[in-house]
Chain A
Amino acid sequence: MKKRFVTKILSLLLAGTMMFSMTACGTGNGDAAGTGSSQAGDEAEEYAEADIEAPGEPFKIGVLVADATSAEALGRRHYLESYIAKAYNMEFVYSDELADSAGEKSAIDTMITNNCKAILSESAFDRPAQIEQCEEAGVYYAVGAGALESDQYENYKGYEYFVGSVGPSDNTEFETGYNMAKYYLDQGKKNFAIFGGATAYRNSMHVNRVAGMLTAMVEAGGEGASYQGMTDPGAIIGQLMADGEAKTGQIGDVTLSGYLGGYDMDDAWFAKGAEMVQANGVEVLLAVGSGSDFFGTAANGTDVKIASVDAYADDYYEAMKNGSLDYLAGKFSAYDGPVFMALYRAVNGNPLRTPDGDALALDIGYWVATSADECEEMLSVDADLTTPVWTAEELNKLYDADYATFEGFVNNYSFEMIK
Chain B
Amino acid sequence: MAGTEPLLELSDLVTSYRLRPGIGRPGGEVRAVAGVSLTVHAGETVGLVGESGCGKSTIARTIVGLVRPSGGKVLFDGRDLGALPAKELRRLRRDIQIVFQDPYASLNPRMTVANLIKEAWRIHPGLVPRERWDDEVDALLERVGLRSEHAGRYPHQFSGGQRQRISIARALAVRPRLIVCDEAVSALDVSVRAQILNLLQELQRDLGVSYLFISHDLGVVRHLCDRVAVMYLGKIVETGSKEEIYRSPAHPYTQALLSAAPSLDDWRTDESDEIVLTGDVPSPLSPPTGCRFRTRCWRAQDRCRDEEPAPAERDTGHPVACHFPGALPPPTTTAPDSGRLTKE
Chains A and B belong together in one complex = no
B-side residues, CB < 8 A to A, are none
A residues within 8 Å of B by Cβ?
Answer: none
